[in-house]
Amino acid sequence: MSVAQILRGKGRDVVVTQPHRTLMEAAQLLAEKGIGAVVVSDASRRVLGILSERDIIRAVARHGAGALDQAVSKYMTQKVFTVSEDTPVDTVMETMTNGRFRHVPVTADGQLVGLVSIGDVVKHHVNEIESEHRALKDYIATA
């Protein structure tokens, strides 16, 4: 199963911000949308970075509340791990575990086309287990 299947279920909308926005604006966006990370992108939807709630917490813990007036570009992760739509979900899960992050942007031809969170991956995994379980029960019942 690939990332494309997850995107078919959840859609392709991704909440983005721009590098010059402040951490406070990014924090407000996370709160308003009820999400844990925003992709930092340019006008042509290329991925420039990712900023998660952890980055904001770390910035405030290290630099005080004044960090909230500073630019997203200063605190975002620039080396973003991205996947394509044909990446297997198992690969995404493994990478999230090894890299200790919970969000992976999906790109096609260098442009942002979706985002997969750890919640999406877990949901997909549970659905797969449930359908395997159902198939096994049907098989046993008809055997």
Stretch of 1-9, 15-23, 50-58, 64-72 lying at the interface with ligand AMP (CB under 6 A)? 50-58
Cβ at position 128, least distance to ligand AMP in Å: 22
Q: Which of 36, 63, 68, 70 binds ligand AMP (CB under 6 A)?
A: 36
To which residue do tokens 């395997």 refer? 132
Nearer to ligand AMP, 62 or 142 (CB): 62
Residues that bind ligand AMP (rule: CB under 6 A) add up to a total of: 14
Nearer to ligand AMP, 99 or 133 (CB): 99
Binding positions for ligand AMP, rule: CB under 6 A: 36-37, 50, 52-55, 77, 80-81, 101-104
